[in-house]
């Protein structure tokens, strides 16, 4: 896909809360995930990124959302998957993140979310009820 950066991420929900990571350089909360590498599928990228960012192995349950968004003049295609932690305890493994928190739907209004999460906020709220 020329001119589009493809991303994949994990929407990990447990006990009515979603696992989010805070990125100080962007001043927002996001789900674990990142760029889909060459010769890699979005599902492979989501699993790899969870390992790199949280040190956990995830099982992708089903696609949650795929869609485009723009940020700083760049076009992104984001694939979000409902995921469960298969093994390991999540902990921050990359310096770009300063915090990790399980967030419930009432707190979603009080925090700055990444653009890909802003566009799915209504669906995310329903998921956390």
Count how many domains the chain has: 1
Instruction: Tell me the pLDDT tens digit for each residue of 76-129.
Output: 999 999 999 999 999 999 999 999 999 999 999 899 999 999 999 999 999 998
- The model's pTM: 0.94
HEC per residue, 27-76: CEEECCEEECCCCCCHHHHHHHHHHHHHCCEEEEEEEEEEEEEEECCEEE
Domain span at 87: 4-127
Q: Residues 35-77: pLDDT tens digits?
A: 999 999 999 999 999 999 999 999 999 999 999 999 999 999 9
Which CATH number does the domain housing residue 122 bear?
A: 3.90.79.10
**DSSP structure string for 88-112:** S-----STTEEEEEEE-GGGGGGSP
Query: Which residue is listed with tokens 């419930």?
Result: 104
């Amino acid at each position: 896909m020329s001119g589009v950066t493809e991303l994949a991420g994990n929407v990990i929900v447990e006990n009515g809360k979603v696992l989010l990571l805070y990125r100080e350089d962007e001043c927002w909360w996001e789900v674990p995930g990142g760029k889909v590498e060459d010769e890699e599928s979005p599902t492979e990228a989501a699993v790899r990124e969870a390992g790199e960012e949280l040190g956990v192995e995830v099982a992708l349950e089903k696609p949650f959302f795929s869609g485009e968004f723009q940020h700083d003049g760049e076009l992104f295609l984001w694939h979000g998957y409902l995921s469960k932690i298969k093994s390991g305890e999540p902990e921050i493994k990359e310096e770009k993140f300063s915090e990790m928190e399980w967030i419930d739907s009432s707190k979603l209004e009080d925090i700055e979310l990444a653009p890909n999460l802003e566009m799915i906020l209504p669906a995310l709220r329903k998921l956390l009820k």
